[in-house]
Amino acid sequence: MLRNLSEFFTRFTPQNTADDAAGRSHTLQLATAVLLVEVMRADADHCAVERSALSKVLRERFALTDDETDRLIELAQLRSTEAHDLHSFTSLLNEKLSEAERQEIFESLWRVAYADGRLDAHENHLMRRLADLLHIRHAAFVGTKMRAASDVKVGDG
């Protein structure tokens, strides 16, 4: 198990992936996964439904197998706990993705935040911070939030 995680980690480290397209893709996947993990962990009681939403987003967005998704989440959780801030992840996404692609990711972040049917104050605060870091305009902030909220019955706080 540790060997598999180590091999997976090697695939996602920037120094090993800087020159090839697949490597850049893996690095973007990891950056996205870290942000999704941060949103999942933002409220005090992150639950199975949020973890399920996180898995679904990653599987669908990056066409990953269940095993690849699980390993990416493990790695993202590890990188999330080691990170001092989110700037390194968001700056990579800002550099490599278009505004439309960043908005798609942002909507996915909302989907994880709303997965349990409510928006915790900590989740809302983190989403506002991420909007600033990802250069999401206010109209897109509101639009992505409304689309994600419409998928579930939502009650604030």
Q: What CATH number has the domain bearing residue 29?
A: 1.10.3680.10
Continuous segment of H or E residues that includes residue 156: strand 155-156
Lowest mean pLDDT across 7-21, 51-65, 86-100: 7-21
pLDDT value of position 72: 97
Q: What is the mean pLDDT of the chain?
A: 86
Largest alpha-carbon pair distance within the chain? 46
Mean pLDDT of 70-97: 95
Lowest mean pLDDT across 6-10, 30-34, 86-90, 153-157: 6-10
The confidence band for 9, taking pLDDT boundaries of 50, 70 and 90, is very low
| Domain span at 95 | 2-156
The confidence band for 47, taking pLDDT boundaries of 50, 70 and 90, is confident
Contacts (Cβ under 8 Å, ≥6 apart) of 115: 49, 50, 52, 53, 54, 152
pLDDT value of position 7: 52
Tally of structural domains, the chain? 1
